[in-house]
Amino acid sequence: MTELLTAAQMRAIEQAAIDSGEVTGLELMERAGRGVVEAIFEEWPELAVGEEAGQGGTAPHPASGIRPFIGRNDPPDHFQEALEPQDISDKKKRAVVLCGPGNNGGDGFVVARLLHLRGWEVEVFLYGDATRLPPDARVNYERWCALGEVKALADDVFDGWPEEDDGVDLIIDALFGTGLKRPFLGFRHLAMALNYCSSSWELHDGLPRVVAVDVPSGLCADSGKWLGDDQPLDHANLANLTLTFHSEKNGHLLENGPPSCGTVDIVDIGLSSTQGPGTLSRNTLIHLSGEARLGRVICRKVTLPLNPYVSKFSDEHKYSHGHALILSGPSGKGGAARLSARGALRIGAGLVTVAPTPGAVQENAARLDAIMLSPVGDKQALEAVLADERFNAICLGPGLGIERVRELVPVALRAQRATLLDADALTAFAEEPQAFFDQLHENCVLTPHGGEFARLFPDVAEKLNAPATKGPAYSKVDATREAAARAGCVVLFKGPDTVIAAPDGRCSISSAHYDRSAPWLATAGSGDVLAGFVTGLLARGFSPMQAAETAAWLHVECALEFGPGLIAEDLPEMLPKVFRKIGA
């Protein structure tokens, strides 16, 4: 697991470091700007050495009598190497740096200065009034002014820009970062220029790359939403590379974040481990108030999960690994349950039993081998099956049918076994969701997709889907946490930005974006397999939160292992390969 931060949590961590005397705000800004430049050159080495490496000259020192650092605000000695001559090509590289009215703009001024000192030709634009810049940003504005001009940012400047022969190699978007609280509107030509450059530079050698500092300007760092009235992506400020500090933010993984950010890299700005996101200290927490205090319950990014085969004692038997019961529907409707059953068995449940209607036993018997069958025609039959206490996990929903769900779910929930509810088991109670929630217990897991979530939690979904008119906008993390608290159990809100939350506020994001992008996972039956994965892990004794997080991660990993052409039946069969890769 790695921790994610909201904007408020990041500000609190920085402020705690400053208050401790560990670092000054000005030094953090210098580290941020330097880290951005280094990360750009690491991403695109050709920008660091020029098109003809070794054939250029050297960047001159600043002109006589001009110092980029002023008086007591001079940076520490370890920043002075920026003044040393740098190898450059005969053809100067060109950058356009867009600076905003806050500390994000201050980072931009540092980037502009450091690129200039490497011999780049740098054009700087400022949105807002320089006299109203925060103190640290104002210092770096003045440092830049000792080297070059600052132009006022106006949208008409970017009408029809850039032409492929403009010679601009790099655009730095340092207009608005994580602290944006209002829509950034009125710059349509600028947005179209950034969009065009970021989407086309690989096809056209003459176009610049776009780098966003922290987040693309206008994107809410907490929610991944564009602030404004349904701002379409083709009018948004998109980036090829987004460089954020200390930790990823929730918005990098949610909603429009992934298609807007390009690649996301984390820049280390030297905050100590005691200020790390997973260890919010008492000193840090005093800077959090209201909603930001959920920082005490950090949202995590699911990476390598718990090992499903953590126990390897040779004397264990199948019942040591649990017995999962998968409720199934009538004849012709059993495919979803069979997918769930296969997933539960492959992920390590010691035994799996499918419970169809009596009329569907023969159909299922022809399709199942290692999976057992136990017909369940009505609630009395289910009560009889559950009298065997070795059934320690139940899956209800996939292919079960609405009427059958309404009859069987109350019986299953009264048995107090670990229970996964999906598909029909969620839809059947949409008209009276509170009556459904009242039956749930802490060992349940709900796995809705967007439509099922909206039916069970209509008011929460309405808030989530409303236009984001101010920041921080209501996010999928907020929605899933609210749903879990209301239901009193773990909720796994499916999607490429799957969010998993527990009633106590614990939360994680299982992302299928960036290097884990698996669009072929959007195929019929994949959710049924996920339900089986969760149920199998519940049978093995995983807690509901652990089971949901681990299953979601393995689900994506199986899709990546197979690749394009995947169908749901392939997912369980990839588990052995995935387990070998992670050393299970």
Query: 397 near 531, Cβ under 8 Å?
Result: yes
Return the residue matching tokens 């809410």. Answer: 220
Compute CA distances 433 → 322, 327, 345, 436, 440, whole Å: 30, 21, 31, 5, 11
Distance CA 382, CA 378 (A): 6
Supply the pLDDT for residue 355.
98
Q: Which of 180-184, 202-206, 403-407 has the lowest mean pLDDT?
A: 202-206
Residue 56 has pLDDT above 90, yes or no: no
Compute CA distances 242 → 216, 516, 519, whole Å: 7, 17, 22
Residue 472 has pLDDT above 50, yes or no: yes
Q: What is the reported pTM? A: 0.88
Query: 213 near 243, Cβ under 8 Å?
Result: yes
Supply the pLDDT for residue 235.
57
Three-state DSSP class for 582? coil
What value does the mean pLDDT take over residues 210-228?
94
Supply the pLDDT for residue 108.
99
Question: Which domains can be identified in the chain, with CATH numbers?
Answer: 1-23+271-301 (no CATH), 26-49+92-264 (3.40.50.10260), 319-581 (3.40.1190.20)
Distance CA 189, CA 182 (A): 19
The 10s digit of each residue's pLDDT in 109-168 is 999 999 999 999 999 999 999 999 999 999 999 999 999 999 999 888 888 777 766 789
Q: What does the angle CA 197 – CA 201 – CA 203 come to, to the nearest 5 degrees?
A: 130
What value does the mean pLDDT take over residues 365-372?
96
Supply the pLDDT for residue 186.
76
Supply the pLDDT for residue 188.
80
Compute CA distances 237 → 193, 230, 232, 347, 395, whole Å: 8, 14, 10, 42, 44
Supply the pLDDT for residue 502.
97
Q: Which residues pair with 477 in a beta bridge?
A: none
470-504 as b/e, with b when 16 or more CB fall inside 10 Å? ebbbbbbbbbbbbbbebbebbbbbbbbbbbbbbbe
Supply the pLDDT for residue 225.
94
Return the residue matching tokens 């992670």. Answer: 582
Residue 318 has pLDDT above 80, yes or no: no
Query: 352 near 319, Cβ under 8 Å?
Result: no
Distance CA 206, CA 458 (A): 49
Mean pLDDT over the full length of the chain: 87
Query: 100 near 59, Cβ under 8 Å?
Result: no
Tell me the one-letter amino acid at 109. Answer: F
- Cα atoms in the 13 Å half-sphere on the side-chain side of 267: 27
Distance CA 252, CA 239 (A): 12
Q: Which residues pair with 123 in a beta bridge?
A: 96
Supply the pLDDT for residue 65.
28
Query: 435 near 408, Cβ under 8 Å?
Result: no
Strands 2-3 and 299-301: antiparallel
Beta strands in 256-397 (DSSP E): 263-267, 299-301, 323-327, 351-355, 372-373, 391-396
Beta strands in 143-208 (DSSP E): 150-152, 170-174
Supply the pLDDT for residue 283.
40
Supply the pLDDT for residue 305.
57
The 10s digit of each residue's pLDDT in 547-567 is 999 999 999 999 999 999 999
Query: 228 near 185, Cβ under 8 Å?
Result: yes
What does DSSP assign to residue 58?
B
Three-state DSSP class for 432? coil
- Given pLDDT bands bounded at 50, 70 and 90, which one contains residue 193? confident
Structure tokens at 25: 């705000």
Alpha helix (H) ranges present in 490-543?
Answer: 526-539
Supply the pLDDT for residue 423.
96
Compute CA distances 117 → 37, 53, 66, whole Å: 11, 17, 13
- Given pLDDT bands bounded at 50, 70 and 90, which one contains residue 360? very high
Task: Please give the residue that has the higher pLDDT: either 310 or 239.
Answer: 239
Length reported for the chain: 584
Residue 196 has pLDDT above 90, yes or no: no
What value does the mean pLDDT take over residues 228-245?
77
The 10s digit of each residue's pLDDT in 256-305 is 999 999 999 999 999 964 454 444 443 433 333 444 444 445 688 877 65
Supply the pLDDT for residue 306.
57
- Given pLDDT bands bounded at 50, 70 and 90, which one contains residue 341? very high
With a CB cutoff of 8 Å and minimum separation 6, the contacts of 145 are: none
With a CB cutoff of 8 Å and minimum separation 6, the contacts of 199 are: 238
Supply the pLDDT for residue 54.
36
Three-state DSSP class for 395? strand
Distance CA 389, CA 391 (A): 5
Supply the pLDDT for residue 70.
32
**Above pLDDT 90, what percent of the chain?**
73
How many DSSP H helices and E strands does the chain contain? 20, 18
Distance CA 474, CA 465 (A): 9
Distance CA 142, CA 133 (A): 11
